[in-house]
Amino acid sequence: MSAKTGLKYALLAFVGVSLATIVRQQLQSGAPAPGGSGAAVATPSAAKQPAAPPAVGSKILVYYFHTSVRCPTCRWIEALTEQTLRTAFADGLRTGLIEWRPTNVQLPENQHFIRDYELFTKSVVIVRLKDGRQAEWKNLEWVWRLVSDRQTFSAYIQNEVSEYLKKL
C-alpha cells in the first residue's frame, strides 16, 4: 500500500469517526441533525390511534432493517424513526397496536426479510397484520431523501403509519 493510499484511508476513517461522534452527541442532546430544522413536530390528529379496538392479531409493525456495519446516516434514520414513533404513537406502542422492530438482516434468522420485502439498502418498512397475518407492507424509500430535514422526515413517518392504522 502506498503512502498516498494509506493517508486516504486514514482521512476517511477520521471523517467517519467524526461524523459518528457528532450524530451521537446530537442524539444524546436532542439537537437537530446536520441540515435539519430541529423544530418540534406537532402530532397531527391523523396520528391518533383508532377509537375501536382492532381485531385480535391486527397491528402495525414498523421495521428498521440494517446490516452489522452502519454509517452515521443509517443510525440517524433509525433514531429519528424510533423517536417519531415514541412521540406520535406512544399509546400504540404501549398497548402493542404498533411494534417497533429494528432488525439486522445479516443475521441468518433475518436474511429472509431481504427477499420478503425486496430490500436493497437499509430500510424502514411498515407492515399491517390482520388476524395475525400480513395483509400489506410498504418500504418507506423516502427516508433517505428526507433524513436531513427532521420535521419533514417525522411527518412522513407519522403519515405513513397513520394510513396503516386507519385500515385496522
The tens-digit pLDDT sequence of the chain (168 residues) is 677 676 566 555 555 555 455 545 555 544 444 444 443 333 343 444 444 556 678 999 999 999 999 999 999 999 999 999 999 999 999 999 999 999 999 999 999 999 999 999 999 999 999 999 999 999 999 999 999 999 999 999 999 999 999 999
Give per-residue pLDDT as tens, 129-145: 999 999 999 999 999 99
Q: How many domains does the chain have?
A: 2
Cβ within 8 Å of residue 130, ≥6 positions away: 55, 57, 58, 168
Answer yes or no: do 51 and 25 share one domain.
no
Q: 36-47: b or e for each residue (b if 16 or more CB lie within 10 Å)?
A: beeeebebeeeb
pLDDT of 42 reads: 38
Answer yes or no: do 18 and 84 share one domain.
no
Residue whose cell numbers read 500500500? 1
Answer yes or no: do 44 and 22 share one domain.
no
